[in-house]
């Protein structure tokens, strides 16, 4: 997978300014709309499109002339041809969940460390619930970004993202559950290391 992305990056350097802008728009749009698609095939498709644009460029034809004025219609058609990959979707969902869980656990660990507390209270219910909400928020923001990509009125979308972010913070601060564990700092440290390992495993190059 990384080889495809590296090859794509190198070939993009051969694009002229207009074609580079066109392909950048198409690239971002496709990646935002193909989270539930096979990643390997998505990158192969993007590389193939890039090679077509370069070939057209060598023949004196722009990307707009070759694919059409707007990249979105051709991108939509190509995305529909990609097979749905539920394993990819599950991997991204788990990655969002465990990433947030790892961050808040490390933050609590550091707070207890600097306060020199030997025991730390972990609100397990709070962590799990907030991680689920945060994971859902990430996917909603990505979906929203994909739906509104290229539109001029972006401040409304930025405001909505800011509101979602603020709500997640308020939720984490205010919510409490009875599912609390008293653990030592070393136990929290080991759990954090374990979660970091899970995140690394989930984020590894699938190719």
Helix/strand/coil for 182: strand
106: buried, middle or exposed (CB in 10 Å: 19+, 13-18, 0-12)?
Answer: middle
194 pLDDT tier (thresholds 50, 70, 90): very high
Helix/strand/coil for 60: coil
DSSP bridge partners of 121: 182
pLDDT at 203: 80
Is-above-0.85 flag for pTM?
A: no
Q: pLDDT at residue 181 above 80?
A: yes
Residues 89-117: tens digit of each pLDDT: 788 888 888 888 888 888 877 776 676 66
Alpha-helical (H) ranges within 34-123 are 39-58, 63-67, 71-81, 86-114
Tokens of 108: 């609590």
Cβ neighbour number for residue 131 with a 10 Å cutoff: 21
**What Cα–Cα distance (Å) separates residue 119 from each residue in 20, 110, 141, 186?**
55, 13, 37, 9
pLDDT at 66: 86
The C-alpha atoms of residue 67 and residue 105 are separated, in whole angstroms, by 48
Q: pLDDT at residue 207 above 50?
A: no
Residues 7-50: tens digit of each pLDDT: 888 888 899 999 999 998 888 888 877 777 888 888 888 999 99
Tell me which residue of 2, 191, 7 sits closest to 105, measured CA to CA: 191
């Amino acid at each position: 997978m990384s080889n495809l992305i590296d090859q794509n990056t190198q070939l993009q350097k051969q694009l002229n300014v207009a074609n580079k802008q066109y392909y950048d728009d198409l690239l971002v749009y496709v990646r935002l709309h193909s989270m539930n698609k096979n990643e390997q095939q998505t990158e192969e498709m993007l590389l193939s499109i890039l090679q077509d644009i370069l070939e057209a460029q060598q023949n004196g034809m722009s990307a707009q002339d070759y694919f059409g004025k707007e990249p979105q219609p051709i991108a939509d058609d190509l995305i529909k041809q990609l097979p749905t990959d539920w394993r990819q979707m599950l991997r991204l969902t788990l990655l969002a969940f465990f990433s947030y869980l790892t961050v808040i656990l490390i933050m609590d660990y550091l707070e207890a460390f600097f306060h020199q507390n030997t025991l730390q209270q972990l609100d397990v219910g709070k962590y799990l619930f907030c991680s689920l909400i945060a994971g859902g928020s990430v996917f909603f923001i990505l979906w929203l970004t994909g739906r509104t990509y290229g539109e001029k009125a972006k401040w409304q979308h930025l405001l909505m993202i800011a509101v979602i972010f603020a709500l997640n913070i308020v939720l984490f601060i205010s919510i409490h559950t009875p599912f609390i564990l008293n653990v030592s700092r070393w136990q929290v440290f080991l759990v954090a290391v374990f979660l970091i390992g899970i995140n690394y495993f989930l984020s590894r190059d699938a190719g």
